[in-house]
């Protein structure tokens, strides 16, 4: 479950919210002035997010290297064609 709280409420109820994250695997979105500024998630989920981020960054780097000599407009056209073909299937 994802809960949203204000920064003030988060400060006042930190212990309870840590328990929600640790034992119930909830996530807590912390809002300040009506805008989300941080999220409290359990350590296991955070580890998965970090691993996925590394994989994404590695893949993005490989793609950038493969297309270094391709003009941007051609690369975008190729991506759009691939997306359109996938959506059509």
Per-residue pLDDT of 31-76, as tens digits, reads 999 999 999 999 999 999 999 999 999 999 998 899 899 999 998 9
Q: What is the number of structural domains in the chain? A: 2
Same domain, 10 and 22: yes
DSSP strand pairing (2-6 vs 27-32): parallel
| pLDDT score recorded for residue 27 | 97
User: Which of helix, strand or coil describes residue 65?
Assistant: helix
Same domain, 12 and 32: yes
Q: Which two tokens stand for residue 43?
A: 């350590």
**Which pLDDT score is estimated for 32?**
97
Verify that 55 and 80 share a domain, yes or no. Answer: yes
Closest CA to 67 of 51, 53, 55, 82: 82
Which pLDDT belongs to residue 67?
Answer: 87
| Residues 9 and 35 grouped into a single domain | yes
Asked if pLDDT for residue 14 goes beyond 90, the answer is yes
Check whether residue 80 and residue 56 sit in a common domain: yes
Q: Does residue 6 have a pLDDT over 90?
A: yes
Mean pLDDT, residues 20-34 taken together: 96
Residue span of the structural domain in which 61 resides? 45-88
Same domain, 29 and 51: no
Considering the entire predicted model, what is its pTM?
Answer: 0.69
Half-sphere exposure of 61 (CA within 13 A, CB side): 6
Residue carrying structure tokens 């190729």: 78
């Amino acid at each position: 479950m994802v809960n949203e709280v204000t920064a003030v409420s988060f400060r006042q109820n930190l212990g309870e919210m840590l328990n929600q994250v640790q034992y119930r695997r909830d996530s807590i979105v912390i809002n300040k002035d009506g805008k989300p500024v941080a999220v409290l998630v359990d350590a296991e989920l955070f580890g998965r997010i970090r691993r996925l981020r590394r994989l994404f960054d590695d893949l993005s780097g490989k793609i950038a290297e493969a297309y270094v000599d391709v003009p941007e407009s051609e690369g975008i056209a190729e991506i759009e064609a691939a997306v359109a073909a996938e959506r059509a299937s």
